[in-house]
Structure 1
């Protein structure tokens, strides 16, 4: 089977819908902005697909859910929150030039949402299709995870519209990822008069950073990277408190368990210091086996299409961990996620929308 080249999508209309989404800024945790963004997402879905897009309220902002009716067969999954603060659009406005679209969120992942909607709009039969666009993916999906898992299990197949990997490849595997915060309590004292009377939380933090870094096993895909640290109040006071934030990525469930146990077992080096650890590997690994069947279909539809395992996490990690077939990276072709040079390649938009249509049709007729 190859992709139907007769599937028609209007790239100019896609760009205009993308403009509407990008120009409604949607930083994570900004509830007012996310409420406005959700309404625009819902309006785009309804205008192209008909029916009603339901806003599912949560403490993180509204998620958007749409159903084409019938028995659920496939879940189109994405998010409308972005990492950019309000005001970014003024500094970096939506722009179409030289074959690219630029602006905050075009690649991660508003472009993918538009391609998915327009791909579905080219189909006469949308029965069995659900769309879920969440409001908190960039900050851990804590409010949306249960809903994501519920709809994934109900549908039995998940297509994730995060941006493509390098070169337009689909994402066939992802590492599990999480964040740990190590809080250290010491005791303050005068740094000049009686430094020995204190318990220096900064020195303890230095010991902990070395211990934590040693947990990494990059040869099997486990990276443990201290990313943020803070300590102290004044230059003549022995620090009484310090914190270290650590990014963790793992490729297997066994490594997830090892890392979480190791963080729980961290012990102080200095007499009188105390340590408290919070966090976990919140997104389980997405094994390549979860994508194998759907990726084979995608390759038949679009010969030459490549797949790559990547280090970043997505909501596809949750669905794959449930055993639900999950294919990721179906969104925009481009790059610069979370950066000022973020861009989307216009030439690839139609082909990616057609790929959506082909995948959905294949799943519907299984």
Structure 2
């Protein structure tokens, strides 16, 4: 830690405390750090106990209690990097303008700088309406335990600001594809692969046909993509496989395509009538489209950024999902990608640009004061 600039020491502590989603002690340690930062400030803290083996969620509230809808900020404190990454493969360090560390780009850097902005506005009493800041423990696995909390806060908010990382050169996100996740299970008929080959019905053979069909659904012109990235099956090298399984990742640009593709995948039929297929899952995150209200909120952000001294731009609809999908689908104006700039999310090259911290913090502060 001696290589870290003292001005970045607080954020460096966040990075050093590793918090992969399924490591509840690490995630809860992150929630402890946030709670400690606001102690003694005019900020109320609500902690929601975790469930299903996952960490807690934390809600901060500040600003006037004037009956207005709130402006909400949302960040997740879980990462994808396993415990031990910072000790070996991705040590916390500075190289020029780059700050390296597990989750610095996705998204501890954005969560940290947004918290500083939230504190600044709360201490100054500069908000026009109530402010809410939600920290979640499970975004990287689809927010299974916090979606209802996210949506409840969204319904009571006039706008939602999500601190996922910035895109190419500091662009923010105003639209995201919807995400579907499915698990396919196949049951064939086992037999000895030498003496009774013809009696068997291979689950893996069926899986191969189904995987090719599912991957063939991809239609770049319509913005539909399907991917099979996990699979398994079989019993032994000399047994016609009775079982096979694979997962499906689906991305769509609109609700209609999401419903159609969900129905198609859930309705998969076996090529071999002697094989059984079962499919579970569905749309995990609805599409987040750039509505006129989102566009209006973006123009507000552009004006604030211009006053700070930079030209804020947004990017085309991105394929990755976030908690912003949930609030945008409710019709709540949502800006995403407001976090730190950098690159290498989910890789061992993950880094943030130190020079982006001050302007991004000022942008969120300006939004909290202006909305």
In which range does the TM-score fall when normalised by the shorter chain? over 0.9
TM-score of the two chains, using structure 2 as the length reference: 0.91
Q: Distance in 2 between matches of 1:38 and 1:265?
A: 41
Q: Distance in 2 between matches of 1:133 and 1:267?
A: 41
Is the 1:187–1:238 contact (alpha carbons within 8 Å) kept by the matching residues of 2? yes
TM-score of the two chains, using structure 1 as the length reference: 0.92
Counterpart in the other structure of 1:163 = 165
The correspondence for 2:354, drawn from 340, 346, 349, is 346
Counterpart secondary structure, 2:240 = coil
Is the 1:301–1:355 contact (alpha carbons within 8 Å) kept by the matching residues of 2? yes
Counterpart secondary structure, 2:79 = coil
Q: Over residues 156-180 of structure 1, what are the superposed CA-to-partner deviations in whole Å (9 max), with x where a residue is unaligned?
A: 2100000001111001100001211
Alignment of 1:202-351 (within 5 A): 202-289=204-291, 291-303=294-306, 304-308=311-315, 309-351=317-359
The answer to which of 288-297 and 102-111 deviates more is 288-297
Q: Distance in 2 between matches of 1:99 and 1:180?
A: 40
Counterpart secondary structure, 2:269 = coil
Task: Evaluate the alpha carbon distance shift between residue 341 and residue 43 of structure 1 in structure 2; reply closer, same or farther with a 3 A threshold.
Answer: same
Q: Distance in 1 between matches of 2:106 and 2:261?
A: 29
Runs of 4 or more above 6 Å deviation: 11-14
CA RMSD of the aligned region, Å? 1.7
Counterpart in the other structure of 2:37 = 44
Work out the number of aligned pairs and report it: 352
- Correspondence 1:86 to 2:94: no
Structure 1 stretches of 5 or more lacking a match? Answer: 1-10
- Correspondence 1:57 to 2:49: yes
Is the 2:164–2:337 contact (alpha carbons within 8 Å) kept by the matching residues of 1? yes
- Correspondence 1:68 to 2:62: yes
Q: Distance in 2 between matches of 1:200 and 1:41?
A: 52
Counterpart secondary structure, 1:208 = helix
Counterpart secondary structure, 1:243 = strand
Q: Distance in 1 between matches of 2:47 and 2:131?
A: 17
Counterpart in the other structure of 1:98 = 96
Structure 2 stretches of 5 or more lacking a match? Answer: none
Q: Distance in 1 between matches of 2:6 and 2:91?
A: 19
Counterpart secondary structure, 1:230 = strand
Q: Distance in 2 between matches of 1:14 and 1:291?
A: 34
Q: Over residues 318-357 of structure 1, what are the superposed CA-to-partner deviations in whole Å (9 max), with x where a residue is unaligned?
A: 0000000000000010011100000000011100000011
**How much has 1:239 moved relative to structure 2?**
0.6
Task: Evaluate the alpha carbon distance shift between residue 13 and residue 45 of structure 1 in structure 2; reply closer, same or farther with a 3 A threshold.
Answer: farther
Is the 2:174–2:314 contact (alpha carbons within 8 Å) kept by the matching residues of 1? yes
**How much has 1:13 moved relative to structure 2?**
7.2
Q: Distance in 2 between matches of 1:14 and 1:223?
A: 43
Is the 2:184–2:280 contact (alpha carbons within 8 Å) kept by the matching residues of 1? yes
Is the 2:44–2:62 contact (alpha carbons within 8 Å) kept by the matching residues of 1? no
Q: Distance in 1 between matches of 2:170 and 2:312?
A: 8
Counterpart secondary structure, 1:339 = coil
Task: Evaluate the alpha carbon distance shift between residue 258 and residue 284 of structure 1 in structure 2; reply closer, same or farther with a 3 A threshold.
Answer: same
Counterpart secondary structure, 1:167 = coil
Counterpart in the other structure of 2:156 = 154
Is the 2:74–2:133 contact (alpha carbons within 8 Å) kept by the matching residues of 1? yes
**How much has 1:42 moved relative to structure 2?**
1.9
